[in-house]
Structure 1
Amino acid sequence: MTDTGHGDRRPAGMLEDEVLAVLWSKTAPVSPAEVQAELGGSLAYTTIMTTLARLERKGLASRRRSGRGFVYAPAVDEASHTAEAMNELLARRSDRAAVLAQFVSRLSADDEQILQKLLREMDD
């Protein structure tokens, strides 16, 4: 996927999610060039740098100097980030019960068991 031309554009936030996925997959901080390579190399280096800078401003990534450039690491873990996004979306809906009911009704049997176990543990 490229970042040129209107037909190839990612939905808003998708590139940030892809870059975060790269950061989460690594055990050490990575350079913008490493992120670019992980994403297939089709995106401009400046696009990757801009996305990493945006993630840092949002508090989702941290950076530190490494030689003449910077390396980046996730500032939040994947589960926390996803849970926060789900909570933000839920907070914007008027019928939270209906949204939660639809969400639970669409869970796989395995995920439903995990959710039930977690809810029981919270009650203890």
Structure 2
Amino acid sequence: MDAEAAGSGRETPRRRGQGELEAAVLSVLGEASEPVTAAWVLRRLGGGLSYSTVITILTRLHAKQAVARTGPRRPVLWQPVADEAGLAALLMRRLLDKQSDRDAVLSSFVSGLSPDDEDLLRSLLAESGPDAAGPPADRPKG
């Protein structure tokens, strides 16, 4: 808190990180029953954000394929393609796709999981069917 804010009893607002803003925008979009404008998103976010900040976040989410936008007509309408968990999964897949040694990356990732997360991963793999847990050569091509 700066001296002026301390003297006035007001706290300086905490600056949110890009990931927090993206999650907040995805959450607001998830509440919409149809595609919405950036102004609609801004009104629901509140918190002193500017219109240009909301547009920037929506554009970044669009580049990450987490939101879809209407064509060139105005106003541009936005809708979620992925929720926060879906966005994280998409980013993880993109990072994995960039690696030359996928086995090493996945092995390292799994070895760093907590026992509870390991159990959850095993459960999810079991739910997705017997082919999902087998080696790639045993999976049907599709």
Aligned to 2:15: 9
TM-score, normalised to structure 2, is: 0.57
Structural RMSD (CA): 3.6
Alignment of 1:17-36 (within 5 A): 17-36=23-42
TM-score, normalised to structure 1, is: 0.63
In structure 2, C-alpha distance between the alignment counterparts of 1:10 and 1:49, rounded to whole Å: 16
Aligned to 2:109: 99
From 109, 112, 130, the counterpart of 1:120: 130
**Closer, same or farther in 2 for the Cα pair 1:50/1:110, shift >3 Å?**
closer
In structure 2, C-alpha distance between the alignment counterparts of 1:116 and 1:84, rounded to whole Å: 21
Does the aligned pair in 1 maintain the 2:110–2:118 contact within 8 Å?
A: no
**Consecutive unaligned residues in structure 2, runs of 5 or more:** 1-11
**Closer, same or farther in 2 for the Cα pair 1:58/1:111, shift >3 Å?**
closer
In structure 1, C-alpha distance between the alignment counterparts of 2:123 and 2:26, rounded to whole Å: 28
1:77 aligns with 2:82: yes
**Consecutive unaligned residues in structure 1, runs of 5 or more:** 1-5
Q: CA deviation at 1:110?
A: 6.0
Does the aligned pair in 1 maintain the 2:58–2:67 contact within 8 Å?
A: yes
More contact order relative to length (CA 8 Å, sep ≥ 6) = 1
Other structure's SS at 2:76 match: strand
In structure 2, C-alpha distance between the alignment counterparts of 1:86 and 1:38, rounded to whole Å: 29
Q: CA deviation at 1:29?
A: 0.7
Does the aligned pair in 2 maintain the 1:104–1:112 contact within 8 Å?
A: no
Aligned to 1:3: none
Aligned to 2:68: 62
Larger Rg: 2
In structure 2, C-alpha distance between the alignment counterparts of 1:51 and 1:106, rounded to whole Å: 33
In structure 2, C-alpha distance between the alignment counterparts of 1:80 and 1:69, rounded to whole Å: 26
**Closer, same or farther in 2 for the Cα pair 1:95/1:50, shift >3 Å?**
closer
1:48 aligns with 2:54: yes
